[in-house]
Structure 1
């Protein structure tokens, strides 16, 4: 494909990704306001986010498996429809329960967009070429990630937060039209679709039980209780059954044979830590800005720009360098180091920390995510078998989403527990602050007694300082959870096999494999007309693409004869 053809084919994917990211980020800065208006507490705040991440994680390998079995373009369009319809429905929520339910459906569509965009890119671009175009994805991600919170903050402040859920609808309609007209992927051989329904159920049940336990333990029930035994025991039993089912299934949801590949296994470990840092930062930095620094939703969107700038610069710059040099290991190691530095520094912030320092910490974290997130998928796609590119790509994305889901749940549980403890410890300060309010005191006492997430920016100065300090301490301690996982990510990346990126797309690799088979079956005496450039292993970076115009023989007649032999053998 020429550069123009590639850009035309990618335009639909880019807009589809933009829709999904815009619909997510536009809500991020207004979540504290949403939960306050719906009367939710810190647990509800966590689950509004976790529900989306959980269903995204569970649905990602399902979409990936379907991508290996059926029409990828149709699946991508279906994912857009599911995502946007659920997002719009969430705008009509009247309580946190319905909000959580619609956000869960939203996550199903998000899982499809995350998995299928990577699979479709592998159909169009080789790993070596992909770095150049990943800059476009980085730019789209940056525009959505920067513009979304700013737009969401303005909408929440001017028209109300419900309009944040409707803003993506016209863009989604445009995305569907463009995908239909511009995205043309090579036809795939017809296969009998067989879905591992039992594996889906076991995966969903086991992961959900463990995450619900993490979110509710220590608050709704004690850590050591009957509920803990049932949930943890059920989650572990469900996980064991899932492994057994996948080992016996003819079309497993997550082929466990993938873990025999050292690259895949280490990339999965690294992706879990990246997911914790990425999703945790996106959720709790917005909360830090509003609850610990008294910012409005619009101001919170502006204050998180350093993290987005780091992610944008790193993803675009590193992508271009990888394409130019063909080397990726040093960039991933650097990204993991920056991830550790950013998470560690954010664990030290207080409500009055110099914002210049906070900006540097956010930039480091964003740059670490930008260098590692997409490139871990790239490394896996470089070594995965062509017929397993869907499950391999979605496998890495699944574990990244799962890491993010678990990270947000654990960080939310830690934050809720820390805030409860600090409020109890600061009872004297809170009482003194309320006493200084005079006639306003009863109003604020009533608000605090509801247990809903407070609107710190609207509090009187004496009371606001106390709660800003409480939430700053709670959120900074939550970031400590991400640090050991970031260290594990660095270790996994260091041990990743440093294999060069090949120059063949998934489609070309499949055709080359077929040509190899034809070469092996050529009758004695026909060796001279065997397809040129197909005798080497297609996984080798030096393998010659079937579309390559260079031939060793240099004879048109021989080339024509080779094509005829190959066609007859098929």
Structure 2
């Protein structure tokens, strides 16, 4: 660690300062997650008022997703090069600016651009909050803070749509306040972080910014996400446009790998040569990082992909309102909150994590498998039980999956390693939403055709063959156009049945992804969590190199007193 340096103007934070800073960081995280959920319920009204199209409706969501996913590893790398506190403040400021401008938008196109700006700030918040928490607390300590993190995510996930509905339906507020509502919270978070956060920057000396790697990684990810978002909707999967986008994305990512491996350096001018990669490939020589990354991709596909369609099941498959649909997810949220808190506390107590991750992945898989058996008529109490099982697994695996990686990497690579796991989880989620959406669309279309055919047979007796044919054709036209409000009762029943029986197919695919995550976790070698913060770890290494006897931390002394291993 001789090539690492620590900013000289920092002093260690007290436990009280750490807790105060944690409050500011969690408020920033809450703002980030709330911004994604509070807008969703208002989107139909937003697009209507701005005279947008159906494609623009999709891009209002996709723009933020693309920007946040593509920039996550870049923010993570910067956190290993410069002040983490400054980066958190910059990301919060970018997000706040994007929110204000989005609320002032006068056209759908402008809104999409400002949502992308929001996404850049959001990508920083997603990565940096976890990185800063990892810098303040040792790997073993972090477990006890998984509960508050899960609580923030859960409240934002459930509360966002409810708050968005109230704001949109309140005449003197309107949909623009779904963007403005996050601004005061972001400003409060900025003030708290400025006054309390004092995390040292542990970085390598003589570093340079990897502009080429950042450009290629962001470009490749954005192109591939655009491909999976548009394919099957704007153009067929098997089409020239589809092949071109897929090939371009793959080429950019292959070039990114070559650049990060420094194989392109001999062919590049000096300012583009890669000396300090955005994602150092040597991280993947460590089995823990590689397997945790694979598990994160699978978890991202399963959780983020299926969460979107859970709302469709309740609304389109069972006929509940958006507000009630949000409330129906409370068993899942409750299970996640309770068991993330319990598992985190036990991980801190025993310093062991693998059994909790295995149990979490297994329960997540079982929960999805159970949900794959539901239909449009399954008892809601039974569905609530299935969701609680799923939430229990989510709580045990979602946040804790990054712990083994943070425990395995040296202090100067903490940021990039953490953001890499976060990045691949987000990438899996983004791809999952699009791919699973395409699967659902095809399956629901097949079920709708079957339903319309059966509907025609049932109408023949009363309307005659020609009347039944006309009724079914009209029904099919309205279903295709999405004019749900004008559907006849028979036609509406076809649509509801199609979604009620079609969405569970998505949960079956999610169960398979959960099983893949479980297999990856099983092969991760468990190493007891460290009891030193990154700064203490660096100081211990410096003392060892100087030939001094390192001073034991209170946690290590206590562990030795209990006869527990400390490494």
TM-score (normalised: structure 2): 0.84
In the alignment, is the contact (CA less than 8 A) between 2:21 and 2:192 conserved in 1? no
> Does 464-473 or 238-247 show the bigger shift?
464-473
- What residue in structure 2 maps to residue 489 of structure 1? 517
Residue correspondence of structure 1 range 342-357 to structure 2 within 5 A: 342-357=367-382
**Alpha-carbon spacing, 1:532–1:236, altered in 2? closer, same or farther (3 Å):** closer
Q: Does 2:321 align with 1:296?
A: yes
C-alpha contact (below 8 Å) 1:216/1:413 kept by paired residues? no
In the alignment, the residues of structure 2 paired with residue 32 and residue 413 of structure 1 have an alpha-carbon distance, to the nearest angstrom, of: 21
Aligned pair 1:250/2:278, yes or no?
Answer: no
Given candidates 322, 332, 342, the residue that maps to 2:347 is 322
Give the RMSD, CA atoms, in angstroms: 3.2
Residues 375/32 of structure 1: CA separation in 2 closer, same or farther (3 Å cut): farther
Shift of 1:57: 1.8
Deviations 1:205-251 (A, max 9, x none): 32233233323333433333322331222222222111100000211
Which residue of structure 2 lines up, in the alignment, with residue 386 of structure 1? 411
User: Contact conserved, 1:46 with 1:409, CA < 8 A, in 2?
Assistant: no
Partners of 2:203 and 2:412 within 8 A in 1: no
Residue of structure 2 equivalent to 1:541: none
The Cα of 1:110 is off from its aligned counterpart by 1.5
Q: Deviations over 1:28-54 (max 9, x none)?
A: 44456656776654x666554443333
Answering whether residue 243 of structure 2 is matched by residue 215 of structure 1, we say no
Residue in 2 aligned with 1:477? 505
- TM-superposition CA deviations, 1:375-400 (whole Å, max 9, x none): 11111111111110010000100111
Task: Name the structure 2 match of 1:362.
Answer: 387
For 1:63 and 1:230, locate their aligned partners in 2 and report how far apart those are by CA, in whole Å: 29
Offset, 1:345: 2.4
Task: Work out whether residues 335 and 372 of structure 1, in 8 Å CA contact, stay in contact via their aligned partners in 2.
Answer: yes
2:67 matches 1:55: yes
Cα distance change, pair 54–181 in 1 and its aligned pair in 2 (3 A) = same
The 5-angstrom pairing of residues 202-241 of structure 1 reads: 202-241=216-255
Measured at CA, do residues 547 and 65 of structure 1 come closer, stay the same or move farther in structure 2, by a change above 3 Å? same
C-alpha contact (below 8 Å) 1:64/1:390 kept by paired residues: yes
Q: Is the 8 A contact 1:39 1:452 kept in 2?
A: no
Give the superposition deviation at 1:347.
2.5
CA contact (8 A) 2:147 2:338 kept: no
Distance (Å, rounded) in 1 between the aligned partners of 2:97 and 2:480:
32
Q: Which runs of 5+ in 2 are unaligned?
A: 1-12, 263-273, 561-567
Q: 1:358 Cα deviation (Å)? A: 1.8
2:24 maps to 1:12 = yes
Matched residue count? 524
SS in 2 for 1:481: helix
- Superposition pairs of residues 342-491 of structure 1, within 5 angstroms: 342-428=367-453, 453-455=482-484, 461-491=489-519
The answer to which of 470-479 and 396-405 deviates more is 470-479
Alignment partner of 1:307 is 2:332: yes
Residue 535 of structure 2: which of 507, 529, 539 is its match? 507
Q: Does 1:138 align with 2:156?
A: no
**1:314 is paired with a residue of what secondary structure?**
helix
Is structure 2 residue 147 aligned with structure 1 residue 129? Answer: no
- Where structure 1 has 5 or more consecutive residues not aligned to the other structure, the ranges are 520-529, 534-543, 553-570
Partner residue of 1:560?
A: none
SS of corresponding position for 2:20: helix
- Quick one: structure 1 residues 452 and 310, their matched pair in 2 at CA, closer, same or farther if it must change by over 3 Å? farther
Partner of 2:266: none
Q: Are residue 175 (structure 1) and residue 200 (structure 2) matched?
A: no
Whole-angstrom CA distance in 2 between matches of 1:319 and 1:146: 22
Alpha-carbon distance between aligned partners in 1 of 2:322 and 2:219, rounded to the nearest angstrom: 35
Partner of 1:557: none
